[in-house]
Amino acid sequence: MATKKTVYTLEDGTKLYSIKDVRALIGNEVKDNKAELTSLGITKSTEVMESSPAEGNYPEVGTVTDTSVLKKIYKKLSDKQLDEWLELEGLTDKVNLCEHAAINRMRKCMTITNLHFPKTPGASKAKKSKYADYTTEQLVQMCADNDLDIKDDKGDMRILRMYSIMTLKKAGVLE
């Protein structure tokens, strides 16, 4: 099934498929009108697009500008086509399959997404706790100094730390 799609073509021949991509590339608030686009050297046209990639014709890494575009592509693919795409990219061994078809499909799609949009290592570092500067012993000592009772931790130091912080916060000693 074919659909009509608006295409924004730059002077160098690069094709963009949404005004959002044009705005991201140009770096300002471009209006979607012919006069402004022409002044920037962009032509707006309509092309007939296949609703899903032809057999074996999957987007190459770097050609898709947004994860939402990639999601639209693989939502229209069958499981067999996803398997072919993974095999073409050499990613069949990177997918951990299980007995649930829906989970397998999600894992295949995430593997393709991670190929096109790799995660930068260290980008999602855990935020330092407000109380990381205090040792558990210091927190317990603060409770003792303020005559505060700590709930029974049943021998787990992590729970003792949590109860100490909760007690100190409740008493207004810590923020």
SS3 for the chain is: CEEEEEEEECCCCCEECCHHHHHHHHCCCCCCCHHHHHHCCCEEEEEEEECCCCCCCCCCCCCCCCHHHHHHHHHCCCHHHHHHHHHHHCCHHHCCCCCCHHHHHHHHHHHHHHHHCCCCCCCCCCCCCCCCCCCHHHHHHHHHHCCCCCCCCCCCHHHHHHHHHHHHHHHCCCC
| In the chain, % of residues over pLDDT 90 | 6
Residue spans per domain, the chain: 1-51, 52-120, 136-171
pLDDT tens per residue, range 42-73: 888 777 655 445 555 677 777 777 787 778 77
- Average pLDDT value for residue range 145-166: 86
Rounded to two decimals, what is the model's pTM? 0.41
Average pLDDT of the chain to the nearest whole number: 79
